[in-house]
Structure 1
Amino acid sequence: MLLAAPLTLLALFFLLPLLTVFGQSFAAPDGPLGTYARVAGDSALRYSLIYTFQTAAIVTLAALVLSYPVAFLISRAQGRWLVIGMVLVLVPFWTSAVIRSYAWLVLLQRRGVVNEIMLALGLIDRPLRLANTDLGTHVAMVQIMLPFMILPLLSAMRGIDPSMLRAAAILGANPWRQFVNVYLPLSTPGVGAGCVLVFISTLGFYITPALLGGSSPMIAVAIEQQVSRLLDWPLASALATVLLVLTCALFMLYERLNRRLAGAGEGR
């Protein structure tokens, strides 16, 4: 009985819309599978899917590289410095992603702050095209996704027992071996959780790619174009369904690998 209310809400506001989108993807004039045939046969849509997953992988990797040392420093902080570090990580959540995307558009435009600084320093002779490029899109998306990577890493790192590193040092391990053989494996749950969270969130990004989009639209932008400009709801629903299926498949693969790694760790 206690689960009746939440299950009803989940069915009404989550499962029903998903089923509606899934059913609408078959409502094509050229047959039930016509929209999926168009997705498979349209090179632009296929490239948009590939570009979306490629962008998600780049953003996830960049966010991990930038977030790991930040999370490490915050995890070692104590007292006031720990509070300051946590506040700096959480402050971006208080600002809308739309505002941050527009801020990056202002920073990266031809007469924006970035170009003006490089011109003043003599690093470039003329303004560079940074907005509406893949690079600008990746930079903005990485900045927006950093907190989502830092927090899982920080949670895992705060749970690492410092005596493990001291024991490795007593046994003769240098700092590099302490990190590679002890600290990094113990922090892998945070790495995995952060990468999955950032990767899946990036797949559905719309605002930032729409404002700073580069050579090809991400799939969320392509879906919006099909709905608002071309009024092709069946094709938009098919694209959304394909993206959802691929995302679920990747998540299931991650869960399977995670269970295998956990089992191997317990076996050792």
Structure 2
Amino acid sequence: MTTTLIATRAPARGRRARRAGAGERIAFLTPATVLLGLAFLAPLALLLPQSLTDGSGFSVGAYDRLFSQPVYADVIGNTARIAGLTAMFSLLAGYPLALWISRLGARWKIVAIVAVVLPFWVSILVRTYSWTVLLGKEGIVNVALLRLGVISEPLSLLYTDLGVLIGTVNLLAPFLILPLLATMSGIDSRIGQAAQSLGASPFQAFWRVYFPQTVPTVVSTMFLVFVLGFGFYITPAILGGGRVQMLPTVLANLINTTPDWALASAISVVLLSGAGLIGLVGKLVTRRTT
């Protein structure tokens, strides 16, 4: 009888414990959820109504101007191109670097990781302005190239797409390097040795055995860098000098200079929708590669 009583009380205690645990989780999450809703979700919810109104009431004129005027189509295309190139060059520079760091000893690996993370301790504004010193006509890059005899006159690197691309790659590449490094550090190095012992060349062992295990991280981080580049403002505004038009800089001009709140809201809705769509595509692609 005692055994039966204990057996019947055990599930009841388990349910009470689960309810208590759920209550604690709700209590912890509620403040953060309320703060997120008021500070982030509520302003975003106001974008759509703002983009569908003008001085007289409901109107889709902002979207009509956005998609009918060639200047905005050019800006969207230029933004997507620079964001795509940023993701591509971040991968080309970041993958070998992450691979090299993952193969270092424990002590030097810590040093290398600190070197990658260290720029995050400096303001983006300061890091961006430092590139104006490096890329100017009398900057370090041009002076070095002139002294080496590579060029005969200073290159125009500032206020060009190339200057913006260099700055965005420098700022966003760590978002690709660090997740890749975490993935690579978890891959057993012996699988490459096993593949080579079965007759594979070092390249085949890397390309057919090692690289496929990093593909999901490569895909997801490239989409992340693309989305971040699509909405980047500070670097295009400073290194572009107003000559490189991207959606965030146009958006800032519409808010601070014109102002045209309906069109600015329409651009924000397009940016938000595009980021969400890109994130969804990235998630689907990542699932297929796993």
Counterparts of 1:144-163 in structure 2, within 5 Å, are: 144-163=171-190
Counterparts of 1:212-223 in structure 2, within 5 Å, are: 212-213=239-240, 216-223=244-251
Alignment counterpart, residue 201 of structure 2, candidates 174, 179, 182: 174
Distance 1:261 1:63 in 2: 20
Alignment counterpart, residue 85 of structure 1, candidates 91, 112, 131: 112
Correspondence 1:68 to 2:95: yes
CA contact (8 A) 1:35 1:238 kept: yes
Q: Secondary structure at the match of 2:40?
A: helix
Distance 1:167 1:224 in 2: 55
**1:164 counterpart residue number:** 191
Counterparts of 1:46-125 in structure 2, within 5 Å, are: 46-125=73-152
Distance 2:32 2:171 in 1: 31
Q: Which runs of 5+ in 1 are unaligned?
A: 263-268
Alignment counterpart, residue 141 of structure 1, candidates 168, 172, 185: 168
Correspondence 1:259 to 2:287: yes
The Cα offsets for residues 167-202 of structure 1, whole Å up to 9 and x where unpaired, read as: 211211110001110111011122123212211111
TM-score (norm 2): 0.87
Aligned length: 262
Alignment counterpart, residue 230 of structure 1, candidates 238, 253, 258: 258
Specify the code of the residue in structure 2 equivalent to 1:224.
A
Specify the code of the residue in structure 2 equivalent to 1:259.
R
Distance 1:41 1:9 in 2: 38
Q: Secondary structure at the match of 2:53?
A: coil
Specify the code of the residue in structure 2 equivalent to 1:228.
N
Q: Structure 1 residue runs of 4+, over 6 Å off? A: none
Call closer, same or farther: CA 1:56–1:244 in 2, change over 3 Å: same
The Cα offsets for residues 84-108 of structure 1, whole Å up to 9 and x where unpaired, read as: 1111111111111111111111111
State the identity as a percent. 38
Please say which of residues 92-101 and 189-198 is displaced more in the overlay.
Answer: 189-198
Q: Which runs of 5+ in 2 are unaligned?
A: 1-25
Task: Find the structure with the greater CA-based Rg.
Answer: 2
Alignment counterpart, residue 11 of structure 1, candidates 37, 46, 49: 37
Distance 1:82 1:191 in 2: 21
- Please state how far the C-alpha of 1:216 moved relative to its aligned partner: 3.5
**2:46 counterpart residue number:** 20
TM-score (norm 1): 0.93
Distance 1:98 1:201 in 2: 16
CA contact (8 A) 2:219 2:285 kept: no
Q: Secondary structure at the match of 1:37?
A: helix
- Please state how far the C-alpha of 1:7 moved relative to its aligned partner: 2.2
Specify the code of the residue in structure 1 equivalent to 2:53.
A
- Please state how far the C-alpha of 1:257 moved relative to its aligned partner: 2.1
- Please state how far the C-alpha of 1:211 moved relative to its aligned partner: 1.0
CA contact (8 A) 1:109 1:129 kept: yes
Please say which of residues 148-157 and 194-203 is displaced more in the overlay.
Answer: 194-203
